[in-house]
Homo-oligomer: A and B are copies of this chain.
Amino acid sequence: MSSSAPETPFFVNATAAGEIPSYNGDEKAKATDFANYFCSYAQLYHQKQMLADHNRMAAYHSAILGNQDVFRDKVVMDIGTGSGILAVWAAQAGARKVYAIEYTDMAKHAERVMKANGVDHIVTVIQSSVEDVVLPRCVDIIVSEWMGYMLLRESMLDSVIRARDKFLKKNTGLMFPSHTTMFVAPVNDEDERKAAANDYGSSMSDWAEFAQTTNQVYGVNMDCLEKEFDREQKEYHMLSSRWTELPPEAVLAEPAMIKQLDMTTCTLQDSRGIDKDAEHSAFDFEIDGDEINNPISGIAGWFTADFRSRTDAGGRDAPKLSHPAFLSTGPENGYTHWGQQTFYFLSSIPILKGEITRLTGALEMMRTKENSRLYNCRLTYSTSRRRNDEPQDGSVLMKSGKIEQVYQIP
């Protein structure tokens, strides 16, 4: 036997209720969860990857340094400070006190960064999970970079929400970011889609050869495992979303917003995913074949984050941000380390001249049973075609059946 390190945890590290075990699970689930989750953030290599993401850096930098009037003399908490850059910026922006929380040993490096930048009298680095932190007072501002692929992956939002409800001043407290939004759009990316389909195809012809050899040379019939191998390979190659850095022109229609979070009021339920009956889970795209003639390869999803004034009713008295900042991980904005997650269709949808192709459906997003930091997406969609001189409710040339696929976000 010999196998390289596992790709995804095999054991259950989710509570029965689907919460992250760091807060509310048995000790075994919590140990497994922490072991798997925090591991990579303990490496400077990964910290550097995030610090070299200039869209990410610029958004947080201008959100904090561009709003020094808001930070002046305030008490700030940075959740998951890593090597500490947001905490340094908060101190540079005039904060009176910054609590920088970090679970991994990266906390030790963060402390040295504070000293090297002359802010160690302002920033206190606390090595702990934020759930276990005890503070002498409430805080005015929570800054955190908690977002994962498709916004929610990693489920760190749970920890941020719990810390917010425990530590942030209710009527005047500010969240950085203040609002986050998820988008989807139909995209063209046939090279990648076909490459995945080819990999899937060759893995199956490889199996056929393997099964024959095993039977002929070693006298054992393995045919009964082909179906399961097929399922495994299809899931891996075709029914897993992929990290993509799509060019703007890959987007075939105006992106649709599928979820919006007000960071001041969102709940643990919001962090669970996108319910199939949620307000925005449905999408409805129209593509005119006279404007676009590339087929639809799949659906891409991404998020944006806003740093602006509170919009909730309870936040009327909160300080206003005179210089809002904005981070987009969409194709229009160039590289971020998040990229877009693209869900490739098993077969592409052609766009025909003289016709309008309509793609309607919904995206449901839910935590996996095995690991509450990972998510699956159920994509349900159908297409219809009409001549482009017909109105939207006019006569249809062809309407597809409803297609439903569950994708994992690796």
Binding site for B on A (CB under 8 A): 1-11, 13, 27-32, 34-46, 48, 50-52, 54, 57, 61, 65, 80, 82-83, 85, 88-89, 92, 104, 109, 112-113, 115-117, 145-149, 153-154, 156, 207, 210, 213-214, 217-225, 228-229, 232-233, 236, 337-338, 410
Pairwise interchain contact A48-B229, C-beta atoms closer than 8 A: yes
CB neighbours of A42 from chain B (8 A): 10
Query: Please, how many angstroms separate the alpha-carbon atoms of A50 and B112 in the complex?
Result: 47
Instruction: Identify 6 new A-B residue pairs, CB closer than 8 A, beyond the known A89-B219, A109-B224.
Output: A2-B338, A3-B40, A5-B410, A28-B31, A45-B233, A116-B222
Among residues of B, the one whose C-beta sits closest to the C-beta of A87 is: B220
Closest Cβ of chain B: how far from A182's Cβ, in Å?
14
Closest Cβ of chain B: how far from A218's Cβ, in Å?
5
Contacting residue for A45 out of B29, B153, B236, CB 8 A: B236
Pairwise interchain contact B7-A57, C-beta atoms closer than 8 A: no
As for how many copies of this chain the complex holds, the number is: 2
Contacting residue for A225 out of B8, B112, B210, CB 8 A: B112
Pairwise interchain contact B220-A85, C-beta atoms closer than 8 A: yes
Pairwise interchain contact A35-B38, C-beta atoms closer than 8 A: no
CB neighbours of A82 from chain B (8 A): 1
Closest Cβ of chain B: how far from A144's Cβ, in Å?
9
Contacting residue for A41 out of B3, B29, B219, CB 8 A: B3
Pairwise interchain contact B156-A1, C-beta atoms closer than 8 A: yes
CB neighbours of A35 from chain B (8 A): 6, 9-11, 13, 32, 35-36
Pairwise interchain contact B44-A225, C-beta atoms closer than 8 A: yes
